Structure 1
Amino acid sequence: MNIIESSREKERISLHSHISGLGLDADGYVTDFLFEENIKKRDMYSEPTNKIENNDIKNGTILDPDKVDNICNSYKLENNGNYENNKICYNNISDDEDEVVKNFYKCKGMVGQKKAREAAGIFINLIKEKNICKCLLLAGPSGSGKTAIAIAISKEISDESIPFCIFNASQVYSCEVKKTEILTQYIRKSIGVKIKEIKEVFEGEVVQIEPFFDNTYDEQKISYVHITLKTLKEQKKIKIHSSIYDNLLKEKIQEKDIIYIESHSGNVKRVGKCSLYQDMFDIETDTFVDLPKGNVHKKKNIIQNITLYDLDVSNVQPKDNILDFLQNNKSKKTEITDKLRNEINKIVYKYVDQGIAQIIPGVLFIDEVHMLDIECFTYLNRTLESNLAPVVILATNRGICNIKGTNIISAHGIPVDLLDRIIIVKTMLYNKEEILQVLKLRCKFERIKIDSEALDYLSDIGKIKKK
């Protein structure tokens, strides 16, 4: 039997796609309180030298960062001097916007779970300070926002697009692949590699695409294609092979698009549409970029974001270059040998020393972790000691129970030696007001019109179901 793949997690991720962070202020407190209550709460723990006047607290205003620094002498999240994420007040919200939109900007899409979010903020601070802790356990009943907090943590850890991998512990089941192999695959899916290369490319705006056909056996077959690219400096017509024309069709390249073609591999990348044509439509969903400068044929810095698992899969059948994984990244359910992984790790470390690559540890979210057995916990405990280990977030709705496959009783069904390594955060059930706020937020993003009576009725149903 192959590894069981479930679409449930993908659906949950899409439902939480509006979340952009934990919604904490510069002091690590949740910002969906009334703002005046936040000020009173800080005054209980510190004595600021310059207190904020009442006329400074207004909707639609951002407080002076110097005043923000004087407020907190206790715990503070460091953001390297960038106050974009440290703003206490709302993000320039006008008075005519409704309460749902205001709350969304304040709390970054999060609702409720104030203590859990503040605890997650402390966990993020430990990660940024490169302390030992790399594992977090979210313990709470079903539907209490554990997945939402995990996604928010992944957004707060880094500004870059770090890998975020989610799977259910019940998926660790196969008759062909070892359980530890499945865990290894998900762990390596959560470790990103940012590769910077200098490649020779042909870049510019597509002016014309002209295919030429050959009559072979009374059938028309494309032999070659002329494509005209334009930059601010020049316009050049190049001759490409028919196989590269297939890549143009796959990328849905049209005239007025900005593209580049790698001269070595023939890969085609669409960057966007030329900004000169931005005013052609009143509403446009495409990305507009400026017309490239310089020559059409140039050397360009190419940045690729991949994972270690992508390199593993692409090199099961090795090629000339380890970076040519894009040509053979079909998913396989067979085991990948440790020898191959060690070779890939050596090459990645070599690229890191040369400044070509950068390792970006991501986030691995394991839901229903109590479904793992003692062997999986032992392997996971050892993996957390590695320098390449991602941030592991566990979630469970169990209290005191047996560890799967044993008669050992432990908290949350997790062995004691692993519990000693992790931070445990408890999540609580939503009350009626928070359920109502979630419903309003989802209706806003789904563009559903609903009256207040229906919302109140649905919130009552949600409160009963939670019980």
Structure 2
Amino acid sequence: MTFRVSPLAHPSHLRNLLALAILNLAIAILIPARASAVFSRTAEQRIMAAPVITTKEPSSSTTFQKLDRIGPHTHIRGLGLDPSTLEPDSSPTASSSSGIVGQKRARKAAGVIVRMVQQRKIAGRAILLAGPPGTGKTAIAMAIAQQLGSDVPFTSISASEVFSLEMSKTEALTQAFRRSIGVRITEQADVIQGEVVEVQIDRSLTGATKTGKLTIKTTDMETIYDLGNKMIDSLTREKISAGDVISIDKSSGRISKLGRSFTRARDYDAMGSDTRFVQCPEGELQTRKDVVHTVSLHEIDVINSRTQGFLALFAGDTGEIKPE
């Protein structure tokens, strides 16, 4: 609010205008404070009305598994169909329905499509799910992706992701398509697989250097390996202990924990739900096995685009793979 005062104004008029300005300023300050107080009181009532979930501190004999709740459809694990008849399972349990309810005819039609994809009878086709908002189109699409398995890449995009000032619509759609095309790469790798008997790590007084020894065995033999700093860090990161069955890739040094040996099943009275018991490997420690990697074309594009140096100008394949 702007006040315009003439130079011949009476002092009483000036006092009135000043009082009016102070009153307007007080009203402008008090009204937002009142609104925030009402909002906080309403929010407090909503919080008090909501169900209260109390959790206890995890003890030594209990383990809580972290749940993934990043979207409205993360609870869907499949179509919830009978594998033989493709009819929706009528059992009321959540495990049989795979987290999806309703739309029985649409789920059966989606099950037919999934079976055709698994039998390799359909490829290069598009599926259009039409219907009013909130009828479960996205839920059925997520169920199809979960039913096909983790090896089949699934990409979810919205219309707002296509329009951008930094990327053209064609490039955005091309990247979405290439994220949805998977490639299986099979390679032979030398691995060391066995049950861990003992992990011995020696640290210097300053803590700068670390040396260690790993005793690993199968049902036929037992061997001791000397460990370097990187292998010690990998063992510490994966929390490897005696009784774990592990697999070590000799070419990359990557350590994978396969599970817990059955001989150590009675070491603890209670274990977490993610604990997996496996048999101790048989035969030689060092074996050659086929390793299958499932990657998408977009991941290959990202790897190729990281090529740096002047050699990339002459022979380096950078950017996307050519359509030919």
- TM-score for both structures, normalised by structure 1: 0.47
Note the residue ranges of structure 1 that are not aligned, 5 or more in a row: 1-8, 33-98, 320-336, 347-467
Query: Structure 1: which amino acid aligns with 2:74?
Result: S
Match of 1:268 in 2: 255
Alignment of 1:275-286 (within 5 A): 275-279=262-266, 280-285=268-273, 286=275
Give the Cα–Cα distance (whole angstroms) in 2 for the partners of residues 132 and 293 of structure 1: 41
1:305 corresponds, among 261, 270, 294, to 294
Give the Cα–Cα distance (whole angstroms) in 1 for the partners of residues 141 and 255 of structure 2: 35
Give the Cα–Cα distance (whole angstroms) in 2 for the partners of residues 26 and 153 of structure 1: 17
Give the Cα–Cα distance (whole angstroms) in 2 for the partners of residues 283 and 267 of structure 1: 26
Give the Cα–Cα distance (whole angstroms) in 2 for the partners of residues 135 and 10 of structure 1: 27
Note the residue ranges of structure 2 that are not aligned, 5 or more in a row: 1-68, 309-315
Match of 1:210 in 2: 200
Alignment of 1:33-112 (within 5 A): 100-101=92-93, 105=96, 107-112=97-102
Match of 1:142 in 2: 133
After superposition, the Cα gap between the structure-2 partners of 1:117 and 1:244, relative to the gap in structure 1 and judged at 3 Å, is same
Question: Is the CA contact 1:24–1:118 (under 8 Å) kept in the aligned structure 2?
Answer: no
* Largest Rg, 1 or 2: 2
Report the alpha carbon displacement of residue 238 of structure 1 after superposing the two structures with TM: 0.6
Give the Cα–Cα distance (whole angstroms) in 2 for the partners of residues 233 and 195 of structure 1: 32
Report the alpha carbon displacement of residue 125 of structure 1 after superposing the two structures with TM: 5.0
Identity of aligned residues (%): 30
1:195 has 2:185 as partner: yes
Alignment of 1:151-230 (within 5 A): 151-156=142-147, 158=148, 161-214=151-204, 219-230=206-217
Report the alpha carbon displacement of residue 214 of structure 1 after superposing the two structures with TM: 4.5
Moved >6 Å (runs of 4+): none
- Find the residue that maps to 1:186 and give its secondary structure: helix
- TM-score for both structures, normalised by structure 2: 0.65
Question: Is the CA contact 1:25–1:31 (under 8 Å) kept in the aligned structure 2?
Answer: no
Match of 2:78 in 1: 20
After superposition, the Cα gap between the structure-2 partners of 1:234 and 1:10, relative to the gap in structure 1 and judged at 3 Å, is same
- Find the residue that maps to 2:272 and give its secondary structure: coil
**Residues 282-335 of structure 1 deviation map (CA, whole Å, 9 limit, x = unaligned):** 44321111111112222233232322222222232349xxxxxxxxxxxxxxxx
Match of 1:439 in 2: none
Question: Is the CA contact 1:274–1:288 (under 8 Å) kept in the aligned structure 2?
Answer: yes
Report the alpha carbon displacement of residue 231 of structure 1 after superposing the two structures with TM: 1.1
Give the Cα–Cα distance (whole angstroms) in 2 for the partners of residues 306 and 294 of structure 1: 32
Aligned residues: 247
After superposition, the Cα gap between the structure-2 partners of 1:161 and 1:282, relative to the gap in structure 1 and judged at 3 Å, is same
Query: Structure 1: which amino acid aligns with 2:186?
Result: K
Give the Cα–Cα distance (whole angstroms) in 2 for the partners of residues 245 and 301 of structure 1: 26
Match of 1:358 in 2: none
Match of 2:228 in 1: 241
Match of 2:28 in 1: none
- Find the residue that maps to 2:234 and give its secondary structure: helix
Give the Cα–Cα distance (whole angstroms) in 2 for the partners of residues 225 and 315 of structure 1: 37
**Residues 369-426 of structure 1 deviation map (CA, whole Å, 9 limit, x = unaligned):** xxxxxxxxxxxxxxxxxxxxxxxxxxxxxxxxxxxxxxxxxxxxxxxxxxxxxxxxxx
Q: Greater relative contact order (Cα 8 A, min sep 6): structure 1 or 2?
A: 1
Question: Is the CA contact 1:23–1:110 (under 8 Å) kept in the aligned structure 2?
Answer: no
